[in-house]
Chains A and B, each alone.
Chain A
Amino acid sequence: MDLTKAFDTFQQTVNADIEQVRLARERRDAFKGALKGEPGVLEVFGSGSLARSTQLKPVHDVDLIMVFDAAAYPEWGQPGDSSAGALEVVREMVKRLLGDSGGTVEELVRLAKPRDRAVKCFIDPPEQDDAFTVDVMPVLRQADNTLLVPSKRKECWSTADPEYLIAQVKERQENWSYFRPTVRVLKLWRHGVPTKVKSLVMEVLALKCLPTDTTRPQALKAFFTAAAVEVNYGVVDPAGHCGVIQPDLDTEALRTALESARDIAEEACAAAADGDSDGAALLWRELFGDDLPAPEEKSSGTAAGSFLYVPRPVVDAPQG
């Protein structure tokens, strides 16, 4: 079978429904449009997986960052209750501009609830499973272009740089058009790991371990091989500000899963190299599930045509 086509078909099942993505972007843009004009607000931009285009279906949340003018809120950025205060400012703005009863710009938000770092704005009923939400985080931009982000729980502000990850993903996508799609595949793969793995963990591992100069099967094999080692060093904020991404990560369980995946990917690549694309497809199915197309059943009749083996070229094969 044609492995490239099989991967393309699989990718379509992994990618979020285009209508879902469009709706999420529309809602994000409604928030941006409403909040941008407020006094004391300098910038409003998207962050999170939707901004990086690495979102996995179903899309049920959008992350927004609001950059406020420090001069308008001089007490922000200080330890104490200014974090809670900043979230309250955002909650009030969202309710006034976008509240479902009397929002002056659009009637969209049923409930705006301050959490630790952001205000969770429910567009669907809050009791609904996977209710669509927009998380709005107030921040201050520092001189070095990093952001000060609040924590209501810790009563402090800390430095973060979500734009760094956005830029890094964009750069890799420019080098290799399959980067973002393959990150989505890896995020889906993590659901089969017998421990909770945050999607951002996979994305950061991909940033370090997913090559951008080869085919998808070879890149996946290289990823699993490198990530099985990399995960032992800890998966930390690539911008170097926020430390470990998932403190409760069961590293051993993830490493074991990555090692198993590496072995299967190696077998699949070897089968493909030997011209056994059906065998390779079955192995990739073992790794990614039944959404990857199965080889066609072989008929037991006589062959319809002559079998021509074309060896894989080596001129562009990886060197050691």
Chain B
Amino acid sequence: MNTNGEVPVSWWECEPRRLARDQHEVAKLFPELTWCGEGAGRWEGRLPRWPFHRPEPTGLAELVGQDGMPIRVQYGHAYPMVPPAIFPLDPKPELIEYRQTRFHVMGDGSLCLLQDYSTWTGRQSVTELLLKAAGWRVEYALLKSGVIESMTINGIVNDASRDHLVEQALEELSPGGGQA
């Protein structure tokens, strides 16, 4: 309730079909995410470890863990015109990594998945952002292991060029790894 005693209108009251679409698409591709209708709404839960249309790199489970990354997808009432923010919960980027392009992390700790505001038109699916976030988890592990110096510009949803580095990252992280 605001100072005038008015109850704010949630975005899904204005866009009920959009909420239905999001719930349908997310349930289909990301079944471990749960909708919570508090405030402007959010999704909570885990992303799949490897939701991409190509074989999972050998050793990925060892590198990032069996389970996918837990996240919070925070909507605002300007949705769908403004995309939701996706916060990684484990691993959480370190403070020093905030606002660094090579980590694709915003100043509030959410993921910077779109370089240009104009890319998001409000018509695309939230699942595209979730796929990018799943890719971010893999690249973050590669970056922390030291096998890459920065993440790709466009993410790895359809880019297999870094898949082979997973095994290299494991070697780096193994005891005595990375030493000549």
Report which A residues bind B (CB closer than 8 A). Answer: 211, 213-214, 269-270, 273-275, 309, 311-320
- B153 adjacent to A213 (CB under 8 Å): yes
In the assembly, what is the distance between CA of A316 and CA of B155, in Å? 7
B161 to chain A, nearest CB (A): 10
Residues of B within 8 A of A311 (CB): 121, 123-124
Residues of A within 8 A of B128 (CB): 313-315
List 25 A-B pairs, Cβ < 8 Å. Answer: A213-B152, A214-B153, A269-B118, A270-B116, A273-B118, A274-B121, A311-B121, A312-B119, A314-B128, A315-B157, A316-B154, A316-B157, A316-B159, A317-B116, A317-B154, A318-B115, A318-B116, A318-B119, A318-B154, A319-B113, A319-B114, A319-B154, A320-B104, A320-B113, A320-B114
A82 to chain B, nearest CB (A): 46
In the assembly, what is the distance between CA of A317 and CA of B136, in Å? 13
Residues of B within 8 A of A274 (CB): 118, 121
Report which B residues bind A (CB closer than 8 A). Answer: 101, 104, 106, 111-116, 118-121, 123-124, 128-129, 131-132, 136, 151-155, 157-159
User: CB < 8 Å: which of A269, A312, A319, A320 contacts B121?
Assistant: A312
- B153 adjacent to A211 (CB under 8 Å): yes
- A314 adjacent to B118 (CB under 8 Å): no
A111 to chain B, nearest CB (A): 51
In the assembly, what is the distance between CA of A227 and CA of B101, in Å? 19
- A314 adjacent to B116 (CB under 8 Å): no
Residues of A within 8 A of B121 (CB): 273-275, 311-312
B50 to chain A, nearest CB (A): 15
In the assembly, what is the distance between CA of A88 and CA of B111, in Å? 64
- A312 adjacent to B124 (CB under 8 Å): yes
Residue in A closest to B119 when the chains form the complex, CB atoms: A317
